[in-house]
């Protein structure tokens, strides 16, 4: 199979369109052709809305045609840094509700067409204003509660383009697979316990979970999973990550959290050095258990790179256990799952049929219904206490460096949602917490956290490094990432062509 038609980042594609090297309509048509050619091997794209996308691309081409000179075109690109770029939205999350693209939430319970959104999400509107052309949705595990995208609703698993027998991660697995395969240059994602950063690591991409409140969740909801969840993008470049953050950042009217203070432009800060940082290296589980040796070697090598860039890196770990983080997070996730399923059932006047749910989700629904109000508030108190402890930790260390995943990308089937016990699936001795021990911490505290693709395993599978910063320090993470990216010797961001 040949390479995708465009192998640059999203802003490079927008620049090519504005300079007249191709039109927005041509970019869309070529992307749709790549979806047709490549997606059957991956199962990453679950819905297309080609005609509304063509209408938007046509309107953008007409807008560009009205520019009389290069100065006008340059101004257009500054105002719309993703002009004409096809965008896939994840099949989960009201922040990117889009009336032209219903959502199934990875579930058979919502039928073959899915939920019809009553209005567009604030974040989706901001993406459209930045020039994106929404054209489809990407796969997610049912209700987003797995780190591997293998939803029965889509007829099979989503495959990792680096190795088709391995997981693309989750819950934004379809977004990662589509971007890493070159189907699109960028894709929307969201993250409630690692769902941007896990697939970023598995598929060799850049994945930033922003600070709580920095991106809008409304207007259809106030927050996701008690403030654990937030939206952003999976990208091939730090530049795209920063530009997309500029495009989406800021609280929407009535948001339950004030947006953290932010620079006028994250992208403008990328050329500025972060200055020397003191970084805590935790290259093991928080309680000391070893991670996979290939992962440990990759993180140690990345730490040496950071030292060469002028940073101080020293072994240190937070003073709590992994399960101290994961247990209250899972209580909130289960409660949120029950609230969502009960709410949609009431909204449509017909209860969700349990037989249409995968076993893990059925039990998450049951567990969520058993969590009392006091239990839920205790879980939130535990998460807030972690935030206080990490704030104290960051008084000594500006950044925490860990692996993103405790091992290379898992084989498909290992985390399929067949287990009828949600707690065992997530917290048991073979549960997901042994695979993803590090990512939930930033969701618990609300802090920003970024996964960078720092290595390929001997088998050619991506390995990610996770940098977590204090609350509101998204710019520092992007500056660190830009400094690392500029230093070179980074793995490729697009997988080899599928055989």
Residue 31: Cβ within 10 Å count: 27
| Average pLDDT score over residue span 82-104 | 98
Tens of pLDDT, residues 309-320: 999 999 999 999
Does 244 reside within a domain?
Answer: yes
490: CB partners within 8 A, 6+ apart: 453, 454, 484
Lookup: tokens for 106 = 């990875």
Q: Are 342 and 400 in contact (CB under 8 A)?
A: no
Tens of pLDDT, residues 477-487: 999 999 999 99
* pLDDT of res. 195: 98
Biggest CA-to-CA distance, the chain = 64
Lookup: tokens for 424 = 């065992």
Does 116 reside within a domain?
Answer: yes
Judged by DSSP in three states, 185 sits in coil
* pLDDT of res. 3: 64
Q: Are 85 and 131 in contact (CB under 8 A)?
A: yes
Does 466 reside within a domain?
Answer: yes
Does 19 reside within a domain?
Answer: yes
Does 61 reside within a domain?
Answer: yes
Lookup: tokens for 198 = 């896990």
Lookup: tokens for 210 = 């922003």
Q: Is 195 a catalytic residue?
A: yes
Residue positions counted in the chain: 499
Judged by DSSP in three states, 238 sits in helix
* pLDDT of res. 173: 98
Tens of pLDDT, residues 219-250: 999 999 999 999 999 999 999 999 999 999 99
What pairing do the DSSP bridges indicate for beta strands 163-167 and 159-160?
A: antiparallel
Rounded to whole angstroms, the Cα distance separating 187 from 35 reads 13
Indicate whether 489 pLDDT > 90. no
Q: What percent of the chain has pLDDT over 70?
A: 99
Does 492 reside within a domain?
Answer: no
Q: What is the pTM of this model?
A: 0.98
Lookup: tokens for 134 = 């929404």
Number of structural domains the chain divides into: 1
Q: Is 90 a catalytic residue?
A: yes
Domain around 275: 10-486
* pLDDT of res. 1: 44
* pLDDT of res. 53: 98
Q: For residue 267, give the CATH number of its domain.
A: 3.90.1300.10
* Active-site annotation holder among 140, 146, 167, 195: 195
Does 169 reside within a domain?
Answer: yes
Q: What percent of the chain has pLDDT over 90?
A: 94
Rounded to whole angstroms, the Cα distance separating 209 from 192 reads 9
| Average pLDDT score over residue span 349-355 | 90
Lookup: tokens for 352 = 């969700």
Rounded to whole angstroms, the Cα distance separating 352 from 106 reads 14
385: CB partners within 8 A, 6+ apart: none
Burial (CB < 10 A; 0-12, 13-18, 19+), residue 89, is buried
Lowest mean pLDDT, pick from 4-8, 111-115, 174-178, 355-359: 4-8
Does 3 reside within a domain?
Answer: no
Q: Is 171 a catalytic residue?
A: yes
| Average pLDDT score over residue span 129-154 | 98
Judged by DSSP in three states, 59 sits in helix
* Active-site annotation holder among 148, 167, 171, 451: 171
């Amino acid at each position: 199979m040949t390479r995708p038609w465009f192998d640059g980042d999203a802003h490079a594609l927008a620049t090519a369109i504005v300079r007249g090297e191709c039109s927005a309509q041509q970019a869309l048509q070529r992307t749709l052709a790549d979806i047709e050619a490549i997606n059957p091997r991956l199962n990453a794209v679950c819905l297309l809305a080609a005609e509304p996308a063509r209408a938007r691309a046509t309107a953008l081409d007409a807008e560009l045609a009205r520019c009389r000179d290069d100065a006008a075109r340059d101004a257009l690109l500054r105002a719309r840094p993703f002009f004409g770029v096809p965008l896939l939205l994840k099949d989960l999350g009201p922040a990117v509700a889009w009336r032209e693209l219903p959502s199934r939430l990875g579930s058979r319970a919502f039928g073959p067409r899915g939920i019809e959104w009553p209005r567009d999400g604030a974040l989706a509107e901001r993406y459209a204003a930045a020039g994106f052309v929404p054209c489809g949705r990407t796969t997610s595990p049912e209700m987003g509660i797995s780190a591997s995208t293998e939803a029965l609703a889509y007829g099979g698993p989503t495959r990792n383009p680096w190795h088709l027998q391995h997981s693309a991660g989750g819950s934004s697995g379809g977004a990662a697979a589509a971007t890493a395969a070159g189907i699109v240059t960028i894709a929307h994602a969201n993250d409630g316990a690692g769902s941007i950063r896990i697939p970023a690591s598995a598929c060799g991409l850049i994945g930033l979970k922003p600070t709580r409140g920095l991106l809008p969740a409304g207007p259809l909801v106030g927050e996701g999973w008690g403030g654990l969840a937030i939206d952003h993008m999976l990208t091939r470049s730090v530049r795209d990550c920063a530009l997309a953050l500029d495009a989406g950042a800021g609280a929407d009217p009535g948001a339950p959290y004030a947006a953290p203070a932010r620079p006028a432009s994250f992208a403008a800060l990328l050329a500025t050095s972060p200055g020397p940082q003191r970084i805590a290296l935790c290259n093991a589980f928080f309680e000391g258990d070893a991670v996979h040796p290939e992962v440990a070697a990759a993180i140690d090598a990345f730490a040496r790179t950071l030292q060469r860039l002028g940073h101080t890196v020293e072994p240190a770990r937070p003073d709590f256990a992994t399960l101290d983080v994961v247990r209250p997070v899972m209580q909130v996730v289960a409660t949120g799952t029950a609230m969502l399923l009960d709410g949609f059932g009431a909204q449509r006047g017909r209860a969700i049929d349990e037989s249409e749910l995968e076993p893990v989700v059925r039990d998450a629904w049951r567990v969520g219904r058993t969590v009392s109000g006091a239990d839920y508030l205790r879980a939130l108190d535990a998460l807030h206490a972690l935030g206080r402890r990490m704030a104290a930790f960051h008084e000594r260390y500006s950044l925490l460096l860990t692996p993103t995943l405790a091992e290379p990308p898992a084989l498909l089937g290992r985390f399929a949602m067949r287990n009828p016990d949600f707690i065992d699936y997530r917290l048991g001795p073979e549960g997901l917490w042994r695979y993803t021990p590090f990512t939930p911490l930033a969701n618990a505290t609300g802090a920003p956290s970024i996964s960078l693709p720092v290595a390929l395993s001997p088998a050619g599978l991506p390995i990610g490094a996770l940098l977590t910063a204090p609350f509101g320090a998204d710019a520092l993470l992007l500056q660190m990432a830009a400094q690392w990216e500029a230093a070179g010797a980074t793995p490729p961001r697009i997988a080899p062509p599928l055989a």
